[in-house]
């Protein structure tokens, strides 16, 4: 989702729940997407990626879904744990020679024990 002012969208869940974090992108030419996790005081870390020729990709406890029709990306985290508490960013790029990533504004995930 989009941030409002300085406040990040926040998702609060209980430990063990499944979490879904959403991201909308605007560039219809984007064809490669990455999710990053950023813990407090640290740099972002790669979680999972997906190319535009796929609708779904699964990793360990995480699944990324891509809906190109509505330019929407989601990250699903199964059995959320307190260690999953962080800010999650989606990033996009497009295949036009050398290209750089464009990051979304992020969503904060808070997991309660």
Partner 1 sequence: NAGVTQTPKFQVLKTGQSMTLQCAQDMNHNSMYWYRQDPGMGLRLIYYSASEGTTDKGEVPNGYNVSRLNKREFSLRLESAAPSQTSVYFCASTPRELVVSAGELFFGEGSRLTVL
* Binding footprint of partner 1 on the chain (CB under 8 A): 3, 5-8, 31-32, 34, 41-46, 49, 51, 89, 91, 93-95, 97-106
Q: State which residue, 8 or 13, has the beta carbon closest to partner 1.
A: 8
Q: State which residue, 22 or 93, has the beta carbon closest to partner 1.
A: 93
Closest approach of partner 1 to the CB of residue 41, in Å: 8
Closest approach of partner 1 to the CB of residue 16, in Å: 28
Distant-in-sequence, close-in-space partners of 23: CB < 8 Å, separation ≥ 6: 1, 72, 73, 74, 75, 90, 104, 107
User: Within its chain, how far is the Cα of 11 from the centroid?
Assistant: 12
Q: State which residue, 3 or 112, has the beta carbon closest to partner 1.
A: 3
Residue appearing with tokens 């407090």: 40
In degrees, rounded to 5, the angle at the alpha carbon of residue 23 between the alpha carbons of residues 19 and 25 is 165
CB 87 within 8 A of CB 36: no
Closest approach of partner 1 to the CB of residue 99, in Å: 6
Closest approach of partner 1 to the CB of residue 113, in Å: 27
């Amino acid at each position: 989702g989009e941030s409002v002012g300085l406040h990040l969208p926040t998702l609060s869940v209980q430990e063990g729940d499944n979490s879904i974090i959403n991201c909308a992108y605007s560039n219809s030419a984007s064809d490669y997407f990455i999710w990053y996790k950023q813990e407090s005081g640290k740099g972002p870390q790669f979680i999972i990626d997906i190319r535009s020729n796929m609708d779904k990709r699964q990793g360990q406890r995480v699944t990324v879904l891509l809906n190109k029709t509505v330019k929407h990306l989601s990250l699903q985290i199964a059995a959320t744990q307190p260690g999953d508490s962080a800010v999650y960013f989606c990033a996009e790029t497009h295949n036009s020679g050398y290209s750089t990533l464009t990051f979304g504004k992020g969503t904060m995930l808070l997991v309660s024990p």
